[in-house]
Amino acid sequence: MILLVVMALALGAILVRLVDLQGVQQDHLAALGLRQRVHTVTLAAERGSIFDRNGNDLALSMPQRTVYADPRFVKDPAGYAARLAPIVGVDAGALAARLAQRDKEFVYVARKVDDATAKQVKALRLPGVGFVAESKRFDPAGNLAGPVLGFTGLDNDGLSGLERAYENTLRGRPGQLVAENDPGGREIPATERRDVPAQRGGDLVLTLDQSLQYEVEQRLTEQVGSTRAKGGMAIVADVQTGDVLAMATVDGADGKAPAHPAPPTEQNRPLATVYEPGSTNKVIDVASALETGAITPSTVFDVPWALQIADARFEDHVWHPPERWTARDIMRESSNVGAILVAHKVGKVRLDQYLRSFGFGTKTAIDFPGESAGLLLDPAKYSETSMGSVPVGNGLAVTAMQMLDVFATIANGGMSRPPRIVAATIDADGTRHDVPPAPGHRVVSAETAASVNDMLRSVVNEGTGYLAAVPGYTVAGKTGTAGKPPYRDGEYMASFAGFAPAESPRLAAIVVLDQPVTNYYGGQVAAPVFAKIMQYALRLERVAPTVAMTVQPRRTGSTVSNDAPPPASTTTTRPPARPPGNVAGTGP
């Protein structure tokens, strides 16, 4: 009897508990169970790739494995941390603290580990520890075009360069995965529910040529190293399309490392850094004077060696007696005094208009992150000496890209051709969308451009730019040597900008060396780099030579020789120039 009562009470208690669990607390317990089982994971979208113009990968993302843990299933955080930390290379104490956060469902153990590390972690078979795929960004060509491409952060967000400028295109759209786990932390098969699929990021197709980019970086690095410059910049562009084929930034040696191409963490200096252009600016003086009719190609100037303007004295870099020079002579000799006289014919207002029409004072069509518009003074605020300094390329500051645009405009018959770096995008379903070139505008007439073209040829054939000559081609260009504020001795920006073939221009290039030590004249240190990169670029673009080369028979009797002497212009020696003596220290 007593046994019956005890059994009845026990069964009654079980029944009550059953009703309580299955009835009263049903919803609460079901929700609790669901919360314990259901695991929501954000599916990161694969970031888009960046290609060069030939389809070579410059930046791409690869899935790597990220190790995570669900602290709700980690019974021994310290023990887990002790086993995991040495494998994944994280601090055991910090990892243990993360694993002890029982209110969290997801904590990182280590992000984007390689396959070997993931295999070791998997071999531990720790409940609650799992893997999720994450993308890692790779630059297969190393630092090639690093400042142009930029870099991404740990969460694959673009932080600089094109990675940042085109973040919306490249990042894609993340998805979401909802899965149910068992008490051991393992996914229960056939219960996965993908709510939102991820959308792959769009890709960029650049105008850069990987091979040319490498060549430009190497040649520039060699010269920066040998002249012990602080750094250098170089750009090569197609004058007909505005496509930038190469854009290089090089750091000088700093005691810890030799000269080297700049890494992605650095500024893209051809677009972001401004400098006083010096004598390369004389192109605008002459072009504006011809265009406005202030001078003709045959106008003769009486050019003394020095000119006093207010309290400043401007001098030519080489002493000479008073000369009767045309604009062509002034350009060939890179005469500061001559350029000032030409600019005075134009006047400050019109000169300023042409400076702006050529692109100074405005960002280029590239619109790169951190790009500078340059510095251009309002002519109403000119000082008494401004019309001495501006014509010779001081008192204003430009980017290397802006200066190259000037020469590309002349090369293109007076029509500006806005530069571009991105040629196309490829969207998530593989459809290519070409980016149309931005429309240009007429800056000077074709006739003016042809006259200036001819003058620039004389700079290379007979003047200060003879080291820019490329065998087999006619080159047009201008040297520049400008003092760096505050104009201390020996601190100059040495540059050369030009285009080839001059008869039918295809490519333009600029080389700028920042404070070379061994020799600071643009014609001596920048022009030779220009020659090398232009030669490579012309060959790459399969542009046929425009100058017939003389073929000398070999002494052994064969009719064709590879030992033909270079054109005479490359072997002409120039007398050493006097150090610049004008106020701003502008040389040829």
Partner 1 sequence: MRGSVAAVVVTVLVVVGFHVVMAEGQFRLERLAKDAGREQQRYEGLRLEYAQRAAPQAIVERATKIGMVPAITPRYVSVPGLPAEGSHGDGPTATPPTVGQDWEKVKPHLVAQP
List contacts with partner 1 (CB under 8 A).
43-46, 49, 51-52, 54-57, 60-64, 133-135, 138, 140-142, 144, 172, 174-175, 189-190, 192, 197-200, 203, 205, 210-211, 213-215, 426, 428-432, 471-472, 501, 503-504, 506, 535, 539, 541-549, 551, 560, 562, 564, 566
Cβ closer to partner 1: 189 or 575? 189
Please confirm whether the linkage preceding 579 is cis (ω < 30° from 0).
no
List CB contacts of 319: < 8 A, sequence separation 6 or more: 305, 578
Q: Which of 49, 135, 160, 279 is catalytic?
A: 279
Burial class from Cβ neighbours inside 10 Å (0-12, 13-18, 19+) for residue 131 reads middle
CB 368 within 8 A of CB 164: no
For tokens 């153990």, name the residue. Answer: 109
Q: What is the distance between the alpha carbons of residues 570 and 564, in angstroms, rounded to a whole number?
A: 13
Q: What is the distance between the alpha carbons of residues 197 and 433, in angstroms, rounded to a whole number?
A: 23
Cβ closer to partner 1: 79 or 565? 565
Catalytic (active site) residue 279: yes
Least separation in angstroms between residue 106's CB and partner 1 is: 17
Beta-bridge partner residues of 201? none
Least separation in angstroms between residue 562's CB and partner 1 is: 5
Cβ closer to partner 1: 402 or 535? 535
Q: Which two tokens stand for residue 408?
A: 């590309």
Cβ closer to partner 1: 338 or 472? 472
Least separation in angstroms between residue 353's CB and partner 1 is: 33
φ/ψ of residue 26, rounded to 5: -55, -55
Rg (CA), the chain: 34
List CB contacts of 345: < 8 A, sequence separation 6 or more: 289, 294, 295
Least separation in angstroms between residue 189's CB and partner 1 is: 7
Q: What is the distance between the alpha carbons of residues 140 and 463, in angstroms, rounded to a whole number?
A: 43
Cβ closer to partner 1: 215 or 514? 215
Q: β-strand 492-500 against 476-483: which pairing, if any?
A: antiparallel
Cβ closer to partner 1: 309 or 428? 428
Q: Helix 282-291 crosses helix 446-461 at what angle (to 10 degrees)?
A: 140
For tokens 């998530």, name the residue. Answer: 428
**Which residues are part of the catalytic machinery?**
279
